[in-house]
Amino acid sequence: GESVGLHLPTLSVQEGDNSIINCAYSNSASDYFIWYKQESGKGPQFIIDIRSNMDKRQGQRVTVLLNKTVKHLSLQIAATQPGDSAVYFCAETLEDGKLTFGKGITLSVRP
């Protein structure tokens, strides 16, 4: 049968450092851009979102940046902690509510 495990690009950071996870999107009509975190054995969990008419939004320890000119989205995590180790997905939603996900990146935090 088909393997279910994820084989994704990995970003390795030292505990306490800042992490930057990048994502490119293709649909200019997207209404919202969202970052999700997926821990092993669990479903994706919402982190932060940004509306298409904004370029920056800050949350607790996280910041999302949107550059519509180059269709680029990034997630910055300040003072990365071991609990931040997970797979991170960027996602986008259209005005009709359709929610689609990018490929995902694995964040590994070194103690």
Partner 1 sequence: DAGVIQSPRHEVTEMGQEVTLRCKPISGHDYLFWYRQTMMRGLELLIYFNNNVPIDDSGMPEDRFSAKMPNASFSTLKIQPSEPRDSAVYFCASSPRQGVGTEAFFGQGTRLTVV
**Residues 6 or more apart from 44 whose CB is under 8 A from it?**
36, 37, 38, 89, 101
Of 79 and 99, nearer to partner 1 (C-beta) is: 99
Of 41 and 111, nearer to partner 1 (C-beta) is: 41
Of 57 and 71, nearer to partner 1 (C-beta) is: 57
Based on the shown chain and the rule CB under 8 A, indicate whether residue 49 belongs to the binding site for partner 1: yes
Name the residues that contact partner 1, by CB under 8 A.
Answer: 1-7, 31-32, 34, 41-46, 49, 89, 91, 93, 95-104
